[in-house]
Amino acid sequence: MAHGTPHPASIDPFSRSIAAILDRPWLAATLLGAVTLLVFLPAVACDFVNWDDTAYVSQNRLVLEGLTLRGVEAAFAAPVFHNWAPLTTISYQLDATLFGGRPAGFHLTNVILHAASVALLFLALERMTGAAGRSAAAAMLFGLHPMRVESVAWIAERKDVLSVLFLTVALVAYERACRRPGIAGSIAVWAAMLLSLLSKATLVTLPVLLLLLDVWPLGRLGLPWSAGPAQGERRPSPYPAVSWRRAIVEKLPMFALSLLFVVITLRTQARAMVSEATMPLVGVRIPNAICAMGWYLWKTVWPTGLHPAHEHSGEAGPLWLVLTAAAAIVALLLVAWRLRRACPAIGFGVCWFVAALAPVIGIVQVGFQAYAERFTYVPHVGLMVAVVWSCARAAARFRLPARVLSVALAAVAAAFASLDRLQIETWKNSEVLWRHVLSLVPDSVVGHCNLGAAFYDQGRLQDAIAEFRMSLAIRDTERARTWLGLALADSGRPEEALAEYGAALALNPDSAEAHNNVGIVLARMGRLSEAVVYFERACDLSPGDRDSLANLRRARVELKASEPGR
């Protein structure tokens, strides 16, 4: 085992039936990664979907041109779709070089990254706790939980799987740095954190998460109820004790890095943020955050009805729902406090869950979602640890045979794998995805609009127009207006298209896409001088957009050619 001491069966009941494998952590990690890989491998057969995949990959020239020095420089130079995640963009560029523009390669990379994260998470937990069986169970439940499908099967969520990979690297590095303190170990942790933040900025909470690890399982802070590694075994901890002040001071570089990326994120996502006037903090966002946390807890236990379009109503949820979610959270915290001596893993897991959710809980609202399965990727690490350790403690207390836990774990893992396969099928292509969403939420604004976009891409213009109108009947949005204008223009109805674009610009005067589309319609109608004005505005709003720039140049040439005397 990691610490050179055999683990008594009474301490780690998960280990009894598979001790030979668990005595070889790297073998166990490889098997966990392989199982995860096999479960999620069907995602490789899925297509791109018309929900962020277009902006990040399938219509992104910066990615499709492959990995080049100029492409790497461009990845660092500007955000993509309101996100500055240069390492994610570079990983896409590498995929394009290796696999071309086909979706299979991008999906395969997502699956491999997730499987590697599961393996490394097991190694980190096993080293920190000394409890190989529990660590394997927690890593497996984390990796196979159906709420992982959104992050793995959705190409646009590469930032999730890549950032979590570097999180697990950071955990492995931190365990080693705590065991053998030194500047080299600290630099390794800082580097892993930086790479994670360059993939996705949500890991700004890492310094806080590491402080939780200092309390348990590392036991570095010497709290009376923190027994250190392999909680329950009375033996010296391999991690030198430190004071609270020292533990915080050693993480100051990471807190500084977190602050830097918070500032960067707030600046790059400023245009996508919902204002206080639209969604008040106290009246809407905080109640929604409470409901979202309750929803995450419920779906952890009952992971059905999952989809990527949980739309925010713009209002606080029903009072009974807010109070129920709040009561569940308070009850969980009280249980964690009550059992802090008997099972500190519960308190650790609950605190990790809450802290990791903080950046994505909706206090700063970006986008339309009220909550999302992908937001549980990091929080579920702690929650699965809490679940497994509490189950192990209950089994020991009630003297349950080891095979009971083994059978229960196998049954849950098999159920998760079956649900994963079904959920992956819903990501087969855009039409299948949005039909799935609408089967669950018939009045989904996003679902109707994106199904219409899928029909448009198939050339089914009348079906597309019908879906866009259904979306608008539920709620007037700039996106549906713009798509409807595009479908009407291609159907030979330019005046109607201009009316829809006008409505879109009334909702968002700074829409570069709408200005460009108006210019296209006007140019087709021969109104070139008006078209130039709209193309110029589109270029001003989105300076790096090649399509708008090309349209502007073409319109200027045609306008000059049409002038008298030429």
542-556: pLDDT as tens digits: 887 788 899 899 989
Judge whether residue 17 has pLDDT over 70.
no
* Cβ proximity of 435 and 158 under 8 Å: no
Q: CA of 436: how far to CAs of 40, 156, 424, 440, 469, in Å?
A: 19, 19, 11, 7, 19
Judge whether residue 502 has pLDDT over 50.
yes
Which pTM value belongs to this model? Answer: 0.92
Which are the contacts of 333, defined by CB distance < 8 A and separation ≥ 6?
Answer: 350
List the beta bridge partners of residue 273. 366
- Torsion over CA of 73, 78, 80 and 84, rounded to 10 degrees? 90
Q: Nearest Cα to 469, choosing from 456, 455, 481?
A: 481
Q: How far is CA 557 from the centre of its chain?
A: 45
Q: How many CB atoms lie within 10 A of CB 374?
A: 22
Judge whether residue 9 has pLDDT over 50.
no
Say how far apart CA 273 and CA 281 lie, in whole Å.
13
Judge whether residue 2 has pLDDT over 70.
no
Q: Residue 542: left if φ>0, alpha if ψ -120 to 50, beta else—which one?
A: beta
pLDDT, position 564: 64
Three-class secondary structure of residue 322 per DSSP: helix
pLDDT, position 275: 75
Mean per-residue pLDDT for 135-153? 97
224-251: pLDDT as tens digits: 666 544 444 444 678 999 999 999 999 9
For residue 217, whether the previous peptide bond is cis, meaning omega lies within 30 degrees of 0, is yes
Say how far apart CA 492 and CA 168 lie, in whole Å.
54
For the purposes of burial, counting CB atoms within 10 Å of the CB of 536, is it exposed (0-12), middle (13-18) or buried (19 or more)? middle
pLDDT, position 207: 97
φ, ψ of residue 82 to 5 degrees: the values are 70, 10
pLDDT category of residue 488 using cuts at 50, 70 and 90: very high
Say how far apart CA 164 and CA 158 lie, in whole Å.
10
- Torsion over CA of 67, 72, 73 and 79, rounded to 10 degrees? 120
154-164: pLDDT as tens digits: 999 999 999 99
List the beta bridge partners of residue 366. 273
Q: How many CB atoms lie within 10 A of CB 436?
A: 20
Least trusted range by pLDDT, from 51-55, 328-332, 397-401, 431-435: 397-401
DSSP state of 302: S
List the beta bridge partners of residue 80. 83
Show the tokens assigned to 334. 């009280």
pLDDT, position 13: 53
* Cβ proximity of 362 and 292 under 8 Å: yes
Say how far apart CA 8 and CA 210 lie, in whole Å.
28
pLDDT, position 33: 98
pLDDT, position 271: 74
pLDDT category of residue 346 using cuts at 50, 70 and 90: very high
Say how far apart CA 113 and CA 107 lie, in whole Å.
10
Q: CA of 281: how far to CAs of 268, 287, 312, 315, 346, in Å?
A: 21, 9, 14, 11, 30
pLDDT, position 5: 40
Say how far apart CA 86 and CA 38 lie, in whole Å.
29
DSSP state of 235: S
Q: How far is CA 448 from the centre of its chain?
A: 23
pLDDT, position 7: 41
Token pair 């959920």 is found at: 423
For the purposes of burial, counting CB atoms within 10 Å of the CB of 491, is it exposed (0-12), middle (13-18) or buried (19 or more)? middle
pLDDT, position 12: 53
Say how far apart CA 220 and CA 238 lie, in whole Å.
9
For the purposes of burial, counting CB atoms within 10 Å of the CB of 414, is it exposed (0-12), middle (13-18) or buried (19 or more)? exposed
Show the tokens assigned to 197. 């933040």
272-317: pLDDT as tens digits: 777 777 788 888 999 999 999 999 999 999 999 999 999 988 888 8
What's the chain's average pLDDT?
91
Mean per-residue pLDDT for 342-346? 93
Identify the sign of the CA torsion 420, 422, 428, 431: negative
Mean per-residue pLDDT for 427-440? 98
